[in-house]
Structure 1
Amino acid sequence: MSRILVTGAAGLIGGEVCARLVAAGHDVTALVHRNPEVRSNSGAAVAVAQTVACDIRREKLGLEREVYDRLAHDHDLVIHCAATIRFDLTDEEYAAANTQGVAHVLALAQAGGAGLLQVSTAYVCGNRDGPIAEDDPLPHPGGFANGYEASKAAAERLVRAAEIDWAIARPGITLGDYETGRIRQFDAIYLAFKLIAEGRIRLVPAGREATLNFVPIDHVAGGIAALVENWDAAKGGTFHLVSSEPLPMVDFARGIGSVAGLHTPTLVDPEAFDAKQLPPLERRLHGRVSALYASYFQRDPRFDDSNLRRVTGLASRPADAAYLERLIGYCVEEGFLPTASVMAR
């Protein structure tokens, strides 16, 4: 495999995947939307063969026919990273980006006979707790915590029905590098994390046994690159890119509070939590950010990654207190979270 097209190449996962593929000697075409810069998680520019701006929500990706045909026939594999990861959109917006977008990318792959590696999410398991195998059936349409999960599951169904070679990669909650905590951009769940750590959100509804499947970006991108290198064995498979040991919510709260200047959130029973009783500012912040991620603070899915280990030989590492400490340390180092001296002012 040498000619690879990566959608969402300017994103966090897409950029690091491009960096690893280029380093391995592959010819990579980067599909981007508004941001034309393809960068690794370190922030370094990636020397892709070409960058093409498109819109996956549109037929033929909004490209001129000549460009579309060239892309379709010049690549052996499409890695589809592009998606919206926001949790505050309408069902129509999720469908356009995450489901119809996949249909349009599938059409591109089919037009040229390329394979497709779909980047989904481990949380297509929906509201289930306990052991989750990679080959378990998807939940029924009403079994998801939010529209994001439902749209990614609908996309998986499209991929499985396609008459091309395909594989599906399912990352957990993707955060910073395992050894350093480094992350190229602070968004998604980092925003809720910031409000909690700064004490602007003090009460967090959380299940007693809830866990967070934090997985480092290097394992996610490394896993995707490894599936490319083992494509013949990966075809037709589904692969969890997850932590071997998720982080308990109680350890998450304790870990935040162990850092000087940061606040320990109070975890409360979701059944007893009433957002209307919060102070006005905290209530507004909870509604705008924290509530969007609330379901992840109340679940305990245990993702198995046997398929990934069998095909690639990769083993995930635990999302333990030491990893959380490195994540927080990097956030403080970069000024995303305050130091004790700043909080004291």
Structure 2
Amino acid sequence: MPASPTVLLTGASGVIGTALLAELSHCHVIALTHRTPCPGADEQLRGDLTADRFGLDQHTYTALAARVDMVVHGAAVTSFSSGPAATHLLNEAGTRKILDFAADAGAVLYHLSTAFVARHELTRANLGRDAGDAAARPEDYLDSKRAGETLVRASGLPATIIRPSVVIGHSVTGEISAFQGMHGIIHALLRGLLPLVPVPGPSKVDFVPCDVVARAIAALIAEGRSDGDVWVTAGHSAPTAERVLELTEKVAGDLGIAMQIPRMVGPDMVDRLIRPVFISGLHPRTRRRFDDMLAMTALFADAAAFPSSLGEIPATVAALTPAQVESAYAATVTHLARAKKLAPAPSAGPRQEVLAG
């Protein structure tokens, strides 16, 4: 591997891509962008992942392939409500185009998937449960990511599949380039919009800070890893749903936000009693918000802990301790509360240390 490899990065403006750019100072990064510019990359090239040769002319494509040593494929439809057609178009068909390019370039591929492919059977659709008014359909997203992984494995190319769990904000600042699904639930908790949470209290809620994910990917690139699956998760250090609610209430209290811990109930009680008796008569928007949350939280209810490769592959990125996971979550809640004007901005003070890695 060259001392300063050239990396083609897709999804550079996304949550992981934005954090990763700060960790790739030892690389020459070319960001393949579609709509959103990426000022942090060394170069930008506008292209379309779903088109042959990314929509580039033959000369530009060939010249790009001759330069690239590694590809980090992070571009994806991550919304649970985009529908199967749009989701598969980028997450599956786009992966085919990336594999074609990696083969042409003779490049190592780092393919970003999700740890939740291992919980595909827990979606409400696969459990035969009513989705109600939910716009969120996790099964579409997980189907597309599973298909992408299958393509990568079948390609025979040197490739590492990276499976992060839920990605939250920076471990110290809580900052993130875009708020995502879990942020929506935290926001609703802080505003008192969730009288109940449809997850049993002991269920593990796995999340990792965006900077930890970025450091893990950068370390894989630095050591030239070119095969296998890497789980970037909290693993057994993930807190329970009950503990997450306690932490949220504590941070809210520290910020001067009055919050009550909602009741936690299992999916069976939701389907037998709560949805037909209490939810069915609510305003459609409120009902849809509840059913969306039900669809997302189904992936956590009574699930076994994820494996974690942190501390092993690569060994330079330490496994997260329960205290570090909780600290990172508190930072995310704090940043979200301030960004949404639910709490005042912080006064100037000394910056804390980043999680050891």
Task: Confirm or deny a common fold (TM above 0.5).
Answer: yes
CA deviations 1:124-160 (Å, max 9, x no partner) are 112479xxxxxxxxxxxx6996221121111111111
Pairing 1:253–2:250 present: no
What percent of counterpart residues are identical?
Answer: 25
The amino acid across from 1:290 in the alignment is M
**Secondary structure of the residue that 2:246 maps to in structure 1?**
helix
C-alpha contact 2:47 2:54 (8 A) present in aligned 1: yes
- Aligned length, in residue pairs: 315
Distance 1:310 1:190 in 2: 29
CA deviations 1:57-91 (Å, max 9, x no partner) are 22222222222222222101111010011011322
1:162 corresponds to: 155
1:266 corresponds to: 263
Distance 2:84 2:247 in 1: 35
Question: Post-superposition shift, 1:201?
Answer: 2.5
| Residue number among 227, 231, 235 corresponding to 2:226 in the alignment | 235
Q: Where does the alignment leave 5 or more consecutive residues of structure 1 unmatched? A: 39-45, 130-141, 341-345
Pairing 1:10–2:3 present: no
The amino acid across from 2:261 in the alignment is T
C-alpha contact 2:65 2:101 (8 A) present in aligned 1: yes
Distance 2:186 2:293 in 1: 9
Question: Post-superposition shift, 1:108?
Answer: 0.8
Distance 1:321 1:186 in 2: 19
The amino acid across from 2:318 in the alignment is A
2:287 corresponds to: 283
1:142-153 pair list within 5 angstroms: 146-153=139-146
CA deviations 1:19-40 (Å, max 9, x no partner) are 211x22x1110011211134xx
2:75 corresponds to: 82
C-alpha contact 2:310 2:319 (8 A) present in aligned 1: no
2:35 corresponds to: 34
Question: Post-superposition shift, 1:186?
Answer: 1.6
1:167-316 pair list within 5 angstroms: 167-231=160-224, 234-244=225-235, 245-258=237-250, 259-260=252-253, 261=257, 262-273=259-270, 274-276=274-276, 277-278=278-279, 279-280=282-283, 282-287=286-291, 289-306=292-309, 309-316=312-319
TM, length-normalised to structure 1: 0.84
1:58 corresponds to: 51
C-alpha contact 2:207 2:233 (8 A) present in aligned 1: yes
C-alpha contact 1:256 1:263 (8 A) present in aligned 2: no
Distance 2:52 2:151 in 1: 16
2-11 or 62-71, which deviates more: 62-71
Distance 1:213 1:204 in 2: 16
Distance 2:16 2:238 in 1: 20
Distance 2:120 2:151 in 1: 21
Question: Post-superposition shift, 1:113?
Answer: 1.2
The amino acid across from 2:275 in the alignment is A
**Secondary structure of the residue that 2:180 maps to in structure 1?**
coil
The amino acid across from 2:307 in the alignment is D
The amino acid across from 1:75 in the alignment is V
C-alpha contact 1:98 1:155 (8 A) present in aligned 2: yes
CA deviations 1:153-212 (Å, max 9, x no partner) are 111111111132111111111101112322232233212321232122322211343111
The amino acid across from 1:27 in the alignment is H
Question: Aligned pair in 2 of structure 1 residues 310, 322: CA closer, same or farther (>3 Å)?
Answer: closer
304-313 or 90-99, which deviates more: 304-313
The amino acid across from 1:305 in the alignment is S
Question: Post-superposition shift, 1:310?
Answer: 4.0
Distance 2:341 2:263 in 1: 19
Q: Where does the alignment leave 5 or more consecutive residues of structure 2 unmatched? A: 128-136, 345-357
156-165 or 183-192, which deviates more: 183-192
1:136 corresponds to: none
**Secondary structure of the residue that 2:200 maps to in structure 1?**
coil
1:332 corresponds to: 337
TM, length-normalised to structure 2: 0.81
1:113 corresponds to: 106
Question: Aligned pair in 2 of structure 1 residues 203, 194: CA closer, same or farther (>3 Å)?
Answer: same
1:41-52 pair list within 5 angstroms: 46=40, 48-52=41-45
The amino acid across from 1:235 in the alignment is S
Distance 1:92 1:114 in 2: 29
CA deviations 1:251-290 (Å, max 9, x no partner) are 1122222323234222112111133423325323223x42
